[in-house]
Amino acid sequence: MVDWWKKLTGELIDIVEAPAESRGTLVSKFERYQNEIKNGAQLIVREGQVAVFVDQGRLADVFQPGRHVLSTSNLPILSTLRGWKYGFESPFKAEVYFVTTTQFTDMKWGTMNPIMRRDPEFGPVRLRAFGTYAFRVTDAGSLIKEIVGPSAHFTTDGIMEQLRNIIVSRFSDKLGEASIPMLDLAGKYDELAETIAAKIKPEFQGYGLEITKLLIENVSLPPEVETALDRRSSMGIVGNLQGYTQMAAADALLAAAKNPGAAGQTMGVGLGVLMGQQVGGAAIAAGGMAPPPPLPTAAGFYVAVNGAQAGPFDATGLAGLAREGKLGRDTLVWRQGMAGWAAAGTVSDLGGVLGATPPPLP
């Protein structure tokens, strides 16, 4: 029942036009019961399309946009293939394919695997690249013969991978030949794209296609190499890395020293040490040589003065106490290493200090 209905409706319809197309459709076939077309049928080809007639697998006539009445006069190739001399029988059988000739834009390409390249500055590197391209159909017959075949509906998805492989292969070859440093590649994207587009043009033409635009959006290094390159750039911007590190450490210590508590006190002590090192470092930078270390001194003495502990005092301080009469032979003293407090006169190290003081009058 269904086949008879299709046959009946097919004989009544005398307009041949493209079916509704989805986005990305390259080729769509006009479906008719047993591919029968009536004598005198009207063929409607919209702008951005061509209609291709195929007879038993052989390409026949191609129609450009417009309204055409199908007859022997405007089907010369099909008439020859069929052997029609005085007109064709109605209906006749032929496959009709509508091919989109508008541009397909924003098609993506990119490297699936890194491209090995020897860079004059960084040595062997692995690069990835991606971009976009645009193409259109220029020879519908070649496209149907080479790519589409008997498919009733063919989209860009069926050919994108092959086109991407062609672009990536030629890009890899050209990038390997070009002696362009990695850091200068960004300024050569347009030139590389034009060269690659010219190189792959004949290969696209073999499929009945034309590449109208090729763009290189990015050529990138592996993430770990980019991180190392960022560090190198940061060092170049900082200039004096030692000074930058010292300044950063000082800022951190200042922030920590403002915090109350033992941690802040500890950081304050550390800040003092760091500032001392900074001053010493500045003196070294200014004078060109390090200053000599301080002379070793004996451990200081604590002195019992008026019943209270005072000190510690070095040799100069002890001499001053002796002149003031606050340090005598009977004065109790102590320093690290002594078992307890002892009279100054019994400590041999204080002989020089006490000897300079005259003994009391009898």
> What's the pLDDT at 280?
52
d(CA 135, CA 203): 13
Tokens in use for 238?
């900082």
CB 249 within 8 A of CB 277: no
pTM of the model: 0.58
CATH superfamily for 104-223 is Band 7 domain (3.30.479.30)
Tokens in use for 82?
């069929």
Write out residues in the chain with pLDDT < 70, as ranges: 1-13, 34-35, 85-87, 89-90, 233-248, 250, 253-254, 257-299, 355-362
Query: CA-based angle 165:224:228, to the nearest 5?
Result: 125
d(CA 46, CA 25): 14
The three-state secondary structure class of 312 is strand
d(CA 74, CA 220): 55
The three-state secondary structure class of 326 is coil
> What's the pLDDT at 12?
47
Tokens in use for 286?
């200014």
| pLDDT tens readout for residues 89-143 | 667 778 899 999 999 999 999 988 888 888 877 788 888 899 999 999 999 989 9
Domains of the chain by residue range:
2-100, 104-223, 240-287, 301-355
d(CA 216, CA 241): 36
SS3 letters across 55-124:
ECCEEEEEECCEEEECCHHHCHHHHHHHCCCCCCCCCEECEEEEEECCCEEEEEEECCCCEEEEECCCEE
CB 176 within 8 A of CB 182: no
Q: Hunting for tokens 């050919």 — which residue is that?
A: 159
**What fold characterizes domain 301-355?**
Dna Ligase; domain 1 (3.30.1490)
> What's the pLDDT at 295?
54
**Buried b / exposed e along 272-284 (16+ C-beta atoms within 10 A):** eebeeeeeeeeee
